[in-house]
Structure 1
Amino acid sequence: MNDENIRQLLNILSGIASYNDKGYIWMRHGPAEVEQQQQASRAALDQFIATVGEAQFPEAVLTELRSDSPIKDGSGLVYERIEAQLRTAKKR
């Protein structure tokens, strides 16, 4: 992955975590709207993976991105883990 791809992915993950942290409260979203947002987040991640190409991702990152973890994360821990893994992989 190039630097721009990494930046785009981290922006997506940051937005998801922000929404899950308090964004849904600020927006006064109920359970149905939260579910819709999570589906939209899943679609955004899947589209990003398809656009960049699966082969560009380290296996551990791809596995985590495909899990529910990034969609439900409200703490930013998924962002931090993926950022660290991508930066480490880029140095190799």
Structure 2
Amino acid sequence: MHEKYDWKSVENFGGGGEYVPQICQLAEQIPDAIFLSVNFEELNAMCHGLHIHVIPFFRFYRGAEGRVCSFGCTIAAKFKDALAKYGTEG
């Protein structure tokens, strides 16, 4: 396991349509991150209950700190910026 990511998981809710290839590419580049996909159309009530109103949507967690960042994102640069910021402890 890559030590930089062994304490973190990432959630992706929704299909993202045209963003799926980019998300899949990121998942391949970061094998220790956990990407989840939820059908936004079928589970709309659940997504809104979790305050997820756009797709794709990402949440970053850091060990005991819990969720440290969450955002809807259609720009890979925003995801990569968050990964750089929360990708190391301390």
- The TM-score, its normalising length taken from structure 1, stands at 0.36
- Higher RCO, 1 vs 2 (CA within 8 Å, ≥6 residues apart): 1
Greater helix fraction, Structure 1 or Structure 2: 1
Greater strand fraction, Structure 1 or Structure 2: 2
- The TM-score, its normalising length taken from structure 2, stands at 0.37
